[in-house]
Amino acid sequence: MIAEQINLTVNDGGAAVSDVCVVPIIPVVLAGGSGTRLWPVSREHFPKQLIGVLGTDSLLQATVRRTQGFDAARVTVAQPLIVCGEEHRFVTSEQLRESGIDARIVVEPWRRDTAPALTLAAAVAITGGADPVIVAMPSDHAILDTPAFQRAVEVAARHAWAGAVATLGVPPTRPETGFGYIKVGASLAPNVHGIDGFVEKPDANLAQRYLASGDYWWNSGMFILRASVWLNAVKRLQPGMYDACMAAVAQGEVDGAFFRPCAAAFDRSPSDSIDYAVMERLQGDDTLPRGVVVPLHAGWSDLGSWDAVWDALEKDADGNVARGRVMFDGARASLAHSEGRLVACLGVSNVVVIETDDAVLVADRSRVQDVKGVVDRIKAQRGLEANTHRKVRRPWGYYDSIDHGDRFQVKRIVVQPGARLSLQLHHHRAEHWVVVRGTARVCRGDETFLLSENESTFIPLGVRHSLENPGKVPLEIIEVQSGGYLGEDDIIRFDDKYGRC
């Protein structure tokens, strides 16, 4: 067993580990967030971890890639565990496939914040008698220096293997009011300190005092500890959460590429964050493992606002950041993001302009933290823009709502090769399909037939139907819906290869 290769001693709650040491770790990526702070690009049904905020990779893909390439002489890395919600499981799986990374996906039945999510992952990690060091991290943060991140994790993992609960703290570079802070304690070993406490997001004056003192680091939200240490701490501090999560995993089942904890058991778990549920309660209790913090100097950002995105990206000579079709003329210190249309910024300073198919955000960079209030107002008005994009991903591909009006809607539907929409019917709408690319296999009532490019068919209201792409290229069709109600909830599924019946 790998544990036999390890030589360690425990000293004052920290661990001094010999240089000849291989620690088994398992990355746990917490990807269950809804993400509205980067609206309108990030929305509840397609949150920021799934979008390419900084480049072509999504933040989820970048996070999982960061878990590859550790020093094999110091740690061995097991297959990552990704914890995500039901509504994001297919796109999460597809993005991992595109990245060429084999990972296990644990599907949370409901959102219960980060502490239950980590407890589910820890319970899965110990199956078969293993007890690896968990490296738990959010899926939507930016880290510019991966080798520096990995070195910090390796230091933390060696202390975690000895029983400590480790976290990565970021020495602050400015008086930030958008982050929680860790009060740093005495030095326990090179690049390892005790933790004297956690503090909430401060106001501007207090943040300035934290920066000046040098005793407070930003809380990165990344935690490194053995699976058994986390489960024992949760059992002691949050017994209801422990019982619910352990039962959910014990009664869970494998569903293709996914592991599904038992929903009924998990429903009994309270909702809480890792910080509140456990970390903030470790200090002052000698029966609990001691918390330690390792400094992280790796260009970290939680990307919690468009201002943070501006800060993380390369700028032109005037301090501007452009993504997509953007022109600057006399603009300074601004961010413009276009997903299609040309965005021209003339003579403006310190602004954020975000263009999407169905919404445009224009904000002063000092007010971007208030985006959540805008999203709340859209929800109060029952606006679809708060939750969904015009382009909606599905396990079989996606659809784009091109146009809509009274009693009609037009969609462009793209079905990937080998994929199939469910056998379904609608009570309130009929559909006309026109194939513009590829070949479609259509089931309509008792009929099954093929349609090629420039051919069409009609699906009457109340008739069972399905659509499949039997070809080697993506199938594209134009769908024209007509009827008295065109909502996405007017679907009765009878058979679905993706388990959505």
- Same domain as 135, residue 191: yes
- Same domain as 200, residue 116: yes
- Asked, for residue 386, whether it belongs to a domain, the answer is no
What is the tens place of the pLDDT at every residue in 386-422? Answer: 988 999 999 999 999 999 999 999 999 999 999 999 9
* Helix/strand/coil for 359: coil
- Asked, for residue 186, whether it belongs to a domain, the answer is yes
**Confidence bin at 500 (pLDDT 50/70/90):** confident
Long-range contacts of 494-501 (CB under 8 A, 24+ apart): 494/422, 494/423, 494/424, 494/425, 494/464, 495/422, 495/423, 495/466, 496/422, 496/423, 497/420, 497/422, 498/90, 498/395, 498/396, 498/422, 499/255, 499/256, 500/395, 500/422, 501/422
pLDDT number for residue 108: 95
Judge if the upstream peptide bond of residue 395 is cis by omega within 30 degrees of 0: no
Q: How far apart are CA 194 and CA 138, in angstroms?
A: 23
- Same domain as 225, residue 88: yes
Rg (CA), the chain: 25
- Same domain as 282, residue 236: yes
- Same domain as 286, residue 422: no
What is the tens place of the pLDDT at every residue in 374-383? Answer: 999 999 999 9
Q: Which residues pair with 449 in a beta bridge?
A: 442
Q: Which domain holds residue 60?
A: 2-301
When pLDDT is averaged across residues 142-165 and rounded to a whole number, the result is 96
**Confidence bin at 10 (pLDDT 50/70/90):** very low
Burial 227-243 (b: 16+ CB within 10 A, else e): bbbbbebbeebbeebbe
- Same domain as 423, residue 290: no
- Any idea what the CATH number is for the domain that residue 188 is in? 3.90.550.10
- Amino acid at the residue 288: L
What is the tens place of the pLDDT at every residue in 19-55? Answer: 447 899 999 999 987 778 899 999 988 999 999 999 8
- Same domain as 466, residue 407: yes
pLDDT tops 90 at residue 296: yes
- Asked, for residue 202, whether it belongs to a domain, the answer is yes
Q: Which two tokens stand for residue 389?
A: 């994009």
501 or 483, which is more confident?
Answer: 483
When pLDDT is averaged across residues 229-243 and rounded to a whole number, the result is 96
- Same domain as 313, residue 297: no
- Asked, for residue 148, whether it belongs to a domain, the answer is yes
- Any idea what the CATH number is for the domain that residue 481 is in? 2.60.120.10
Total number of domains constituting the chain: 3
- Same domain as 370, residue 396: no
483 or 19, which is more confident?
Answer: 483
- Same domain as 335, residue 285: no
- Domain edge (last residue) among 267, 301, 335: 301
What is the tens place of the pLDDT at every residue in 262-286? Answer: 999 999 999 999 999 999 888 767 7
- Same domain as 197, residue 76: yes
- Asked, for residue 501, whether it belongs to a domain, the answer is no
- Asked, for residue 352, whether it belongs to a domain, the answer is yes
pLDDT tops 70 at residue 9: no
- Domain edge (last residue) among 256, 281, 301: 301
- Asked, for residue 326, whether it belongs to a domain, the answer is yes
pLDDT number for residue 316: 97
When pLDDT is averaged across residues 318-336 and rounded to a whole number, the result is 97
- Same domain as 91, residue 111: yes
- Domain edge (last residue) among 355, 380, 405: 380
- Asked, for residue 385, whether it belongs to a domain, the answer is no
pLDDT number for residue 284: 67
